[in-house]
Amino acid sequence: MKENKKTYWKGLEELTNDESFVRNAEREFPEGPSNLDGSSRRDFLKVMGFSLAAASLAACEAPVRKAIPYVNKPVDINPSIPNYYASTFASGGDYASIVVKTREGRPIKIDGNELSPITKGGTNAIVEASVLSLYDKQRLSDPYINGEKSEWAALDAEVKSKLASAGSVKVITNTIISPSTEKALAEFSAAFGGAEVITYDPVSSYGITKAAEMTYGSAILPTYDFSKATVIVSFGADFLGTWISPIEFAKQYVQGRKITKEKPVMSRHFQFESNLSLTGANADYRTPIKPSQSGLAILALYNAVAKQAGATTVSAPAVEVEYLEKAAKELWANRGKSIVVSGSNDPNVQVVINAINDLLENNGVTVDFSRPSHFRKGDDAKMNQFVTDLKGGRVGAVVFFNCNPVYDYVKGAEIAESISKAKVSIATNGTMDETASLVQYVAPDHHYLESWNDFNPRKGEYSLSQPTISPLFNTRQAQESFLVWAGISTNYYDYLQENWRSSLMGTQSEISNFQEFWDRSLFNGVYSTPSTSSAISGNADVAVAASAVAKSYKADNAGVELAVYTKVGIGNGSHSNNPWLQEMSDPISKATWDNYLTVSQKWANEHGLKMVEGATRKAKITVGDKSLIVPVLVQPGQAQGTVGLALGYGRSKAGRVANGLGVNAYDLLDSSKGFVNFDVTEGVSVELLTDTYKIAQTQTHHTYMGREFVIQEATLADYKQDASAGRYKPQIYKEGEFVKPSKISLWKGHQYSQHHWGLAIDMNSCIGCGACTVACQVENNVSVVGKQEVLNRREMAWIRIDRYYSSPEGASSNKELEQAADNPEVTFQPMMCQHCNNAPCETVCPVAATTHSSEGLNQMTYNRCIGTRYCANNCPYKVRRFNWFKYHDNKDFAAVNVAQNDDLGKMVLNPDVTVRARGVIEKCSMCVQRIQSGKLTAKKEGRKVQDGDINTACATACPTDAIVFGDMNDPNSKITQMLKIQEDTISAVKEVNEERAYHVLEEINVSPNVWYFTKIRNKDKSEA
Amino acid sequence: MQVTSSVREPLITGGKTLKDVTHDISRQVEGKPSMAWLLALLVSVGVLVLGGLALVATLWEGIGMWGLNKTIGWAWDITNFVWWVGIGHAGTLISAVLLLFRQKWRMAINRAAEAMTIFAVICAAMFPIIHMGRPWLGAYWALPLPNTFGSLWVNFNSPLLWDVFAISTYFSVSLVFWYIGLIPDFATIRDRATGIRKAIYGALAFGWDGAAKTWSRYESVALILAGLATPLVLSVHTIVSFDFATSVIPGWHTTIFPPYFVAGAIFSGFAMVLTLMIITRKVFKLEDYITIVHIELMNIVIIITGSIVGIAYITEFFIAWYSGVAAEQYAFVNRAFGPYWWAYWSMMTCNVISPQLFWIKKIRTSIVATFILSIVVNIGMWFERFVIIVTSLHRDFLPSSWAMFSPTWSDIGVYLFTFGLFFTLFLLFAKFFPVINMAEVKSIVKSSSEKVNK
């Protein structure tokens, strides 16, 4: 075909290359619609596509109910960024300086305040759990008049007019350690003709304060310092668990228990007690004694010490107490650096204790009366007098200031009967408890997390508490109520500030501006005045006290004796409506949701009682004319001829959680000698009934069956000889030689190029208090399952403390090994996911729901889990927990699992942690949410993660720093140094040179990232 | 043409002709259901419904309805699973292995035994699904399906996944094998039937025309499937045993498990076949086809496998002692003398001691004794799995976590449900399908019947 050379023009415009033609030539429609809106067909399609997609996406979104955005964002509230506020936990005289973590305005977690010179960053179970009480729906939401909801104005008007004409006004309170509260009360008192403030403590230390008065002239508690004591002797004082200020004492105590190869010294601890307490469980030498012998044992100790000191001895009936002589000898050898304490509430006994400490030159060193503590101010005598007056109709008005004597005072029943004899009765209690429900006016106080207050736990030490949320209910701070009734219109915050301005501002010269001083104190949470200590001395007549003691104690009481004690989790019972505390496994008995009569193994054998899997029988305990029916728990270590019963149970009006659990042991206490005696030595009888009962224990097998691959321990003497004493080092035969199990593996092994997280747990420091278990529950939204499910062995705890008793000496057969010794040695072993590098759980999951992270963590992907439970079966540590039911939003669990069912309770949930669905496995994540947040913070700040940036909830809570978390790839981290990881390696298997460090179940080479340090007992020779 | 020794006991008694065979067996399918059958079906469906309540409760409320706990994550669920899978093995062994070994006595029992396999595997396969915390997801997440979660695959290291493959393969092969065998018999029934029944059996017969070529293909397929099924007899229970053998738990971590499980499976399978056959032959009057010879031969298999299992039990103890591993030693001492001693000794009595009675010819050839012992063996084999699973788990490494297991009504109910399902299916099969392979039995009428020898 011939090429066509002709050009055809579309028109003249093209030929002339007209400008307007060129512009229009590219367009689809040279004229018309496309000119109108300036957008093309493509644009139209894009817009339509987008709007369609947007409309359909919007339609898919779940409806948002009542989400109210901030119009102006508060300066310090950033979604998903927590804020921390220093504050103070105080319940009566129980004290801890704390840091409150809030998220989007909700307090969700309580940590210890490390700036506090008293609690030093430690917490305990009650403090950790107290955040849930804030969201307790059983708290009163309004003031009440005669049981009817009312208004504050109406209540104030009535109270003011009635109080004015009531005559004698009494304020009943537990120990107040707040100076501003005391001042407010004084104003109230002044306004109503010198109203008397009567202080009592449910668990009284009146004996100590009274003895101090007798010895040194002022009714005070001394400051104890266990850290300076190389020999510790305690007669029934559970100072690590429940006695006076356990967090503080645990912090001190453990300083003498941490040992290294370079410094192989530790304190020696003697405990003489009836019930096996947490403290007794940690003692090197523990002798079970009857309460009736305790006074004589103390006299014997006094005489033994006095003999060596050349002081006059006192006459005392002889008493046979094992290790008492030894204790006396060692105390004398370590005079000036030893301590003797007694939990007795008998002033005469405490006078002797004071005398012993004086002889041992401990006064002013380990027992310091020149720096009084204010934890207990209760006066049993005055309280007793009040009850008499109330019964006699001599009390015009009574105000119960956040106390519940109807429940927790020995004469509660008498108070209950006679409250109506007072013309006016008022309570400031936050719940309608046993006392509040009997009074005319209830003016409910805020929860402490909603309140301003100050505290003076010890001479020269102050702390503040501040609100971390605006009040949830129509409550009013009790101090403000007192001020209002006294006719003072200042609000309590201003009052508090004014008090600090006038009384504390002047104690420092550093800051001249009060606001600055206040802000700094509030920021730190604590403030210490410069110490002005003046030596205190005095001398009570020991002989008089001794003869009184000799008279009231017996060496050979044949009858049964009752030793009433407090549990670590439940304490005096004021927090018992908290399901976290109820479900917390008791450190010693491992029981939950109950109190019970602890009996010795011998008694159980004699009565044919065998406790299997929590199944037991009930007994009737009778004291005088009162009797209670209570289940029996066989407790190794219980002194022969004694039974123990815990306080804090048998609440009838605590709320939905605690009502009806256990029996009230306050009823059985003895107040015949002018003080509340927690040891009932006469008129006690116990009758075993045929009724069966099941106690929900989380651990029903109590010995470690001599398994060295689980528990490795040694005596200090052996440790000094050989730092690896007590270590079990399995060797496996391979090609002609024996090698460590870690040298044989199927796996190629992981490489951790960045971090390698791990935990080091010192079994010597762990006192078993269980603060970590509650902290974990709070941090990780762990479900509470209730008593029945604990009985079904389905508690959800991610971390537990295994408590093992030693078997009797010479036990060899399985049957014998299963039995605990009568007075066993106790070992605590915190157990959580071991984050194995060769994890048996990871290989068996069919859907890869549990996998290994690049930082050494064993991760659980709840979304992917289908719940075969194969991983849990194959976990040699049995730390995996299955969601047997739907625990959240399920009415079957609403009564116990408050934090996941109740609309208010849910506010405590940690938004960083998923609430697990039914049918999935969960377990310790090594607080992966904290790790992520720490890494993000470091990244934002453009630096590497440093040791201490990140800490797990358990390690943070631990009052004894027994759990250390860190990066084993970081040569400067504490954990690396503790474990002496020398090799600079990114391999998962680290070469650990610390002789005490071991893996539980080393021989199966699952290669955990959790290391345990052998338990060392300061004994001369090993014995069971 | 096969030659049969006249010394051998005849496999078919009563002088049956080819016509008799067709008639005797088709009669059950064609006749009205008997009162006994209706009653049995009623009971089975009743158990199915009652057990179904427990199943629904479990699916509705959660696995917490069972008696499991933090220490014991599997108990009745996996015990039942392994037990049912084990029972299934006899069917495959009879139809496949004995076919390859040209054991003609299998012909009278293989149909029912295969049906039993299928139903037992259905019952077994339910447990891995319903024992999951989230079966609505797990039922398909356990399969390696392409998905939208990125490159998210199943974990090929997990023995549970191997189970998924093993069981599904086993089920499909068994089903196909069984059904192919049924086709000529369906055709026989079709040819005798009229009306709607003719249409149904015609459809089931897949247009079988009885031509020589069809028969030739039929036999080839049967042989190929037998070849495929034979390794499954060994592999399925081997893989099931890996669930335990590859773990770290003392009492589970045992290399002897594969052969021991396979022997146990055949052992329990034969016991179950006996139980079912003794009833079927009585109810359907098939004594001439399922003779005492069959029963005796099966009893001999039971003695052999029972003895293998017994030796395995003893070997486990020896190895535990010989290993020097304390936890392992404890696990075995605890089995025999711990809190679950009764389960262990039930297992020993039922599985090791009672089958030894079959050495006595009188017992071996007694219908009543065989029936009782077959049930005893199945009880024993259930206890074997219970002992392995529960007594190993309940006291493993850390004494702090030691616990006990006790079943709840839901545990029992779900087990009953599978019984109901199994017997309902088996009864329906026995009524509507030919329970004896007519085509195969006819092939031996001329060589192995009583008439031939006379």
Residue type, A472: L
Q: What is the set of domains in chain A, with CATH numbers?
A: 1-61 (no CATH), 229-349+358-367 (no CATH), 558-694 (2.40.40.20), 713-1017 (3.30.70.20)
Residues 6+ apart with CB under 8 A from B5: none
| Chain B residues close to A1006, C-beta within 8 Å | 248
| CB neighbours of residue A706 within 10 Å | 16
Q: What is the structure's pLDDT at B449?
A: 63
Most A CBs within 10 Å, among B248, B334, B389, to test the A interface:
B248
Q: What is the structure's pLDDT at A1024?
A: 46
Q: What is the structure's pLDDT at A624?
A: 87
Secondary structure element (H or E) that encloses residue A688, with its range? strand A684-694
| Chain A residues close to B71, C-beta within 8 Å | 793, 878
Burial of A532 (0-12, 13-18, 19+ CB in 10 A): exposed
Residue of A nearest to B137 (CA): A866
Residue of B nearest to A870 (CA): B73
Q: How confident is the model at residue B454 (pLDDT cuts 50, 70, 90)?
A: very low
Pairing of the two strands A921-922 and A881-882: antiparallel
| Chain B residues close to A800, C-beta within 8 Å | 400
**Are B155 and A802 within 8 A, CB to CB?**
no
What integer is the mean pLDDT of A375-401? 90
Q: Minimal CA–CA distance to B159: which of B173, B142, B140, B135?
A: B142
User: Does B141 lie at the interface with A, CB-CB under 8 angstroms?
Assistant: yes
User: Does B180 lie at the interface with A, CB-CB under 8 angstroms?
Assistant: no
Distance from the A707 Cα atom to the nearest Cα atom in chain B, whole angstroms: 8
Domain ranges of chain B: 18-131+154-453
What integer is the mean pLDDT of A187-192? 89
Q: How far is CA B286 from CA B13, B26, B30, B277, in A?
A: 10, 12, 15, 9
Please say if the pLDDT value at position A830 is more than 80.
yes
Q: Is A963 helix (H, G, I), strand (E, B) or coil?
A: strand
What integer is the mean pLDDT of A265-277? 93
Residues 6+ apart with CB under 8 A from A857: A757, A835, A925, A926, A928, A931, A1009
User: Does A798 lie at the interface with B, CB-CB under 8 angstroms?
Assistant: no
Residue of A nearest to B131 (CA): A868
- Local structure of residue B438 (DSSP, 8 states): H
Tens-digit pLDDT profile for residues A275-307: 999 999 999 999 999 999 999 999 999 999 998
Q: Is B357 helix (H, G, I), strand (E, B) or coil?
A: helix
Distance from the A216 Cα atom to the nearest Cα atom in chain B, whole angstroms: 49
Tens-digit pLDDT profile for residues A332-355: 999 889 999 999 999 999 999 988
Tens-digit pLDDT profile for residues A71-93: 788 788 888 889 999 999 999 88
Q: What percent of chain B has pLDDT over 70?
A: 96
Distance from the B68 Cα atom to the nearest Cα atom in chain A, whole angstroms: 8
- Residue A647 Rama label (left phi>0; alpha psi -120 to 50; beta): beta
pLDDT-wise least confident of A397-411, B6-20, B295-309, B421-435: B6-20
Q: What is the structure's pLDDT at B450?
A: 60
Contact present, B121 and B160 (Cβ < 8 Å) = no
Please say if the pLDDT value at position B2 is more than 50.
no
Residues 6+ apart with CB under 8 A from A562: A621, A623, A642, A643, A644, A645, A668, A679, A680, A681, A684
What is d(CA A68, CA A70) in angstroms, rounded to the nearest whole number? 7
Q: How far is CA A957 from CA A94, A124, A776, A801, B43, in A?
A: 17, 7, 9, 14, 60
pTM reported for the whole predicted model: 0.89
Q: What is the structure's pLDDT at A108?
A: 94
User: Does B129 lie at the interface with A, CB-CB under 8 angstroms?
Assistant: no
What is d(CA B382, CA B76) in angstroms, rounded to the nearest whole number? 9
**Are B71 and A847 within 8 A, CB to CB?**
no
| Chain B residues close to A884, C-beta within 8 Å | 62-64, 68
Residues 6+ apart with CB under 8 A from A457: A90, A95, A118, A177, A245, A373, A374, A375, A463
Q: At A902, list the tokens.
A: 């109740």
| CB neighbours of residue A148 within 10 Å | 8
Q: What is the mean pLDDT of chain A?
A: 89
Please tell me the number of Cα atoms within 13 Å of B162 on its side-chain side.
16
User: Does A1024 lie at the interface with B, CB-CB under 8 angstroms?
Assistant: no
Please say if the pLDDT value at position A556 is more than 70.
yes
User: Does B33 lie at the interface with A, CB-CB under 8 angstroms?
Assistant: no
**Exposed e or buried b for every residue in A676-686, given b needs 16+ CB within 10 A?**
bbbbbbeebeb
Q: At A620, list the tokens.
A: 């009737």
**Are A877 and B397 within 8 A, CB to CB?**
yes
Q: List % helix, strand, coil for chain B (3-state, nearest 5).
A: 75, 0, 25
Q: Phi first, then psi: what are they for A696, rounded to 5°?
A: -80, 100
Q: At A141, list the tokens.
A: 């939401």
Contact present, A274 and A644 (Cβ < 8 Å) = yes
| CB neighbours of residue B22 within 10 Å | 20
Contact present, B216 and A808 (Cβ < 8 Å) = no
Please tell me the number of Cα atoms within 13 Å of A262 on its side-chain side.
3
Please say if the pLDDT value at position A798 is more than 60.
yes
Tens-digit pLDDT profile for residues A228-242: 999 999 999 999 999
Please say if the pLDDT value at position A939 is more than 90.
yes
Between residues 918 and 957 of chain A, which touch chain B (CB distance below 8 Å)? 918-921
**Are A846 and B161 within 8 A, CB to CB?**
yes
| Chain A residues close to B396, C-beta within 8 Å | 876, 878
- Which residue would you say has higher pLDDT here, B149 or A251? A251
Residues 6+ apart with CB under 8 A from A32: none
Contact present, A650 and A665 (Cβ < 8 Å) = yes
Q: Minimal CA–CA distance to B154: which of B172, B140, B167?
A: B140
List residues bridging with A1013 in a β-sheet. A762, A997
What integer is the mean pLDDT of A345-369? 89
**Are A866 and B133 within 8 A, CB to CB?**
yes
Q: What is the structure's pLDDT at B28?
A: 81
What integer is the mean pLDDT of A160-183? 90
Of the partner residues A702, A705, A885, the one whose CB lies closest to the CB of residue B64: A885
Q: What angle do CA A38, A43, A46 make, to 5 degrees?
A: 155
Q: What is the structure's pLDDT at A1023?
A: 56
Secondary structure element (H or E) that encloses residue A90, with its range? strand A83-91
Between residues 356 and 415 of chain B, which touch chain A (CB distance below 8 Å)? 393, 395-404
Secondary structure element (H or E) that encloses residue A777, with its range? helix A771-779
Tens-digit pLDDT profile for residues A460-500: 899 999 999 989 999 999 999 999 998 888 889 999 999 99
User: Does B159 lie at the interface with A, CB-CB under 8 angstroms?
Assistant: yes
Q: How confident is the model at residue A60 (pLDDT cuts 50, 70, 90)?
A: low
What integer is the mean pLDDT of B365-373? 92
Q: Is A728 helix (H, G, I), strand (E, B) or coil?
A: coil
Most B CBs within 10 Å, among A794, A826, A870, A1003, to test the B interface:
A870
Q: Is A660 helix (H, G, I), strand (E, B) or coil?
A: coil
Sheet holding A106-112, edge to edge: A83-91, A94-103, A106-112
Q: Minimal CA–CA distance to B63: which of B129, B125, B124?
A: B129
Of the partner residues B247, B398, B399, the one whose CB lies closest to the CB of residue A844: B247
Q: What is the structure's pLDDT at B318?
A: 93
Please say if the pLDDT value at position A30 is more than 70.
no
Residue type, B242: F
Please say if the pLDDT value at position B1 is more than 50.
no
**Are B158 and A843 within 8 A, CB to CB?**
yes
Q: Phi first, then psi: what are they for A828, rounded to 5°?
A: -110, 135
| Best-predicted range by mean pLDDT (A2-6, A512-516, B401-405) | B401-405
**Are A878 and B71 within 8 A, CB to CB?**
yes
